[in-house]
A and B are shown apart, each in its own frame.
Chain A
Amino acid sequence: MAVVKDTAVAAPAVRAGRLSRLLDDETRLGRLMLAPAILYIALLVGLPFFLALYFSLTDITVGSRTLHFVGLKKFHEVIHTPTFKLALKNTFIFAFVSQLLVLILAKILALALVKDFRGKWFVRLLILLPWVAPISLGSIGWLWILDSIYSVVNWVLVHWRFVREPLRLLGILDPRMPPMWLGQPELAMASIITVHVWRLLPLATVILLAGLTSIPKDIHDAAAVDGAGFWRHLFEITIPLVAPIMIVAVLFGFIFAFTDMIVIYVLTRGGPYNSTQVLASLAFFTGIDGGDLAEGAAISLFLFPLLVAAAFIFLRIARRAEVT
């Protein structure tokens, strides 16, 4: 009896000791804490990626469970098609133009928001809204704005005289035939870029804002005393100092623009006649709707090596530019 009693008392103490030993052991605790993140990356990022990589080297379709390894055949097949080439070109235009605009606009917004003024919190809230709203809903709003019949923009162009008349006299606008935002190749590309910029701007602004506020005030004061005007201050002090964080923001933006298709899917589905087709949307139409999963995977992975290289270079630059 006495023995039993003893162990009963001792057990909780031992357990508590083990737990606290674990909590004290930083190496083991660290591994334990990291486990969920690693599991998440492995299951939700790694697995789909390697699956896609594997698919692209086979002849899988959405309806088949048996598949054969065909090597790079799918890549060879698809890269010579005009649609693929067009989509590749569109992808680059889309990514570069939208990133350039995001960068410039985010910079302007962040510079404005870093200043103190009345109602700043409200403006900050407004700017964040596009990021908070689900992108599908946001895109549908834009679909409406740019619609061929019910476009708000066109309504303004046609019904507001002081807008219509100057444009008409300049020969930019034909009130009987207002612009088809999603129906003319250049306008459609401009439209999806606009929506993409609208969508990414909040994040880029917030990142840059964080970068700007991390610059010590003394540095700005020193530059002011040293005689720097607005542009010199911007280009020689502010931008170089936020450069590392800006590069990371740009990298994210680029990868996002290269791999995302939701805006295009909702607004144009690649049209008119493939003029806004990007690799991501083409991959979806080919792989899921068209059924050739392997070719879809090949299309979507085509730029992967390029993106990895870009990420590597960007991060290197960011590290080199790092300042303390």
Chain B
Amino acid sequence: MAIVEARNVKKYFGEVKAVDGVDLATREGEFLVLLGPSGCGKTTLLRMIAGLEKPTAGEIVIGGQVVNDLPPRARRIAMVFQSYALYPHMTVFRNIAFPLKAQGVPKAMRKDKVLWSASMFGITHLLQRKPRELSGGERQRVALARALVREPDVFLLDEPLSNLDAKLRNAARDELQQFQRRIGTTTIYVTHDQIEAMGLGDRIAVMNAGKVRQLGPPQEVYDEPADTFVAAFLGSPPMNLVEGDAVIVGFRPEQFLPAELHTAAPLVTFTFRLTRVENLGADRLLYGVLEAPFSGQRAIAKLPSTVTLSLQPGEKYPFAVPQQHLKFFDRTSGLRTAPRPL
């Protein structure tokens, strides 16, 4: 078990600032998700923690020790790659045993550990196969087993589910979380998929342009975005952001409902001219344009399919958001500001 810290870590590739001053610390045994769009620096940060890249500046600390100058093998970490990076010329058994062999674990003990690790992921029947004979899901488990077998202090996972199809991915997510809870090893998980992030993380660090924009538990990051980037990145569809005189006002589509459906008060009401309706089965998405004082600005509302109210494109309707769910952002910096009356 260990705590991983990044202290003002920077990584520049020539002019490109891939990671531009990140301060971040995991908690003991935590499942921390690094979430961000591609190119935001999350994978680079992970690779610096693993020791595969050297930081341009700053310190990486694992278990209280500055590890900048340690090679990957001395950091007591294990990593699972997006491609799984299984050794194609080795059987599953030898793949899983490889880290042990590299550590000089005696042969007899190696076998026990491989079997233990393989059984954790239910792949003991695959041990004699070569990676090319496995399905995607099986490969992913082998990669996890190979990471687990040496019982590292930290797991580093780089989008390990992105190569699986949607159905498999849900099941794998579930398994992964259960497994992490069971062994309680500090885990850093990189993804660009907010559903994975929300579902798996104890905390989420949202990254953009080489910086951490917000760090917090999933619900907090979702409900109280620190800035317009986080607000717009999370949620599907993302938060509506409309520009007022001095501020940007944000509200989630699921809070933006026909006024008559709201029960609680106080409400802020908008006149919403509906332009298009999308029926997604479980939900209905309503696209439209606001009238004064936000005239001309687009917004989206999300109605559960349990609401059967008839709404026609081209018509105007009164819509409302509970006041507490309106978020305010500074127009220039994009950061959250205090609520104010509209």
Contacts and interface: CB of A to CB of B under 8 A. Distances in A.
Q: Do chains A and B touch in the complex (CB under 8 A)?
A: yes
A305 interface: no
Contact of B146 (A216, A218, A226, A232): A226
Contacts of B170: none
B88 A229 contact: no
A324 interface: yes
Contact of A218 (B81, B98, B101): B81
Interface in B76-109: 77-79, 81-89, 98-99, 101-103
Interface string A237-277: 10011010000000000000000000000000000000000
A10 interface: no
Contact of B81 (A222, A240, A324): A222
Interface in B28-75: 47, 50-52, 71-73
Given A232-B102, A324-B132, A225 B89 contact: no
A228 B85 contact: no
A240 B91 CA distance: 13
Contact of A323 (B77, B82, B88, B103): B88
Nearest to A219: B85
Contacts of B99: 226-227
Contacts of B47: 221
B89 A241 contact: yes
A223 B146 CA distance: 11
Contact of A228 (B50, B83, B86, B98): B98
Interface string B115-149: 00000000000000000100000000000001000
Contacts of A237: 87
Nearest to A220: B85
B73 A224 contact: yes
B85 A222 contact: yes
Nearest to B94: A236
A321 interface: yes
Contact of A240 (B73, B79, B89): B89
Contacts of A232: 101-102
A227 B73 contact: yes
B141 to A, nearest CB: 15
Interface string A209-221: 0000000101101
Chain A interface size, as a band, is 20 to 34
Given A216-B83, A218-B81, A232-B102, A224 B52 contact: yes
B87 A228 contact: no
Contacts of A228: 73, 98, 102
Nearest to B50: A225
Contacts of B98: 223, 226, 228, 236
A219 B146 CA distance: 13
B87 A221 contact: no
Given A228-B98, A229-B73, A232-B102, A222 B89 contact: no
Nearest to B99: A226
B109 to A, nearest CB: 16
Contacts of B86: 222
A224 B83 contact: no
B89 A321 contact: yes
Contacts of B102: 226-229, 232
A112 to B, nearest CB: 20
Interface string A296-324: 00000000000000000000000001011
A25 to B, nearest CB: 35
A225 B78 contact: yes
A321 B73 CA distance: 28
Given A226-B146, A228-B98, A229-B73, A221 B89 contact: no
A221 B85 contact: yes
A256 B97 CA distance: 41
Given A226-B98, A227-B103, A229-B102, A219 B72 contact: no
Given A226-B146, A229-B73, A229-B102, A221 B88 contact: no
Contacts of B78: 225-226
B90 to A, nearest CB: 8
Contacts of A323: 88-89, 132
Contacts of A223: 87, 98
Interface string B160-202: 0000000000000000000000000000000000000000000
Given A218-B82, A219-B85, A226-B99, 11 more contacts: A216-B85, A221-B47, A221-B85, A222-B87, A223-B98, A224-B72, A225-B77, A227-B72, A229-B102, A232-B102, A237-B87
Interface of A: 216, 218-219, 221-229, 232, 236-237, 240-241, 243, 321, 323-324
6 contacts: A222-B79, A222-B81, A224-B52, A225-B73, A227-B72, A241-B88
7 smallest A-B Cβ distances: which pairs? A227-B102, A218-B85, A227-B73, A222-B85, A323-B88, A226-B99, A240-B89
